[in-house]
Amino acid sequence: QVHLVESGGGSLQAGGSLRLSCAASGDNPSWYCMGWFRQVPGKEREGLAGISTAGGRTVYADSVKGRFTISRDNAKNTVYLQMNSLKPEDTAMYYCAAHDRCYVPVLSPTAYSYWGQGTQVTVSS
């Protein structure tokens, strides 16, 4: 199993940038695809970005394409989400997750087995 801890959330103004980090431990995190998700109260969890085990393949939701970038540094066992041009509607709890037996990354939350506890991002107008 892998243990995931998100960090980097906070409050900022619309148009700003933020980088989230996800530190992984336990089983070798490089065996897993990784993803970023977000959720607001009363709504379903939304897949934002996914990345393959070596980082060669990525997938993004239309809502963040062109603004968010997922990356990973397997030597540091860390996955990142660079968030630019943030909007108030980006306000949510952000989670990272790990997907075992991954061929290509996907955005469906059900494909991911291990989850962090989340980090809050609040964007004001």
pLDDT digits (tens, 9 = 90+) for 77-115: 999 999 999 999 999 999 999 999 888 999 999 999 999
Supply the mean pLDDT for the chain.
Answer: 96
CA dist 28 to 16, 75, 113, 119, Å? 33, 10, 15, 23
Q: What is the DSSP string of 50-93?
A: EE-TTS--EEE-TTTTTTEEEEEEGGGTEEEEEE-S--GGG-EE
For 16-51, the pLDDT digits (tens) are 999 999 999 998 878 899 999 999 999 999 999 999
- Asked if residue 60 lies in contact with residue 68, where contact means CB atoms within 8 angstroms, the answer is yes
Instruction: Identify the pLDDT of residue 7.
Output: 98
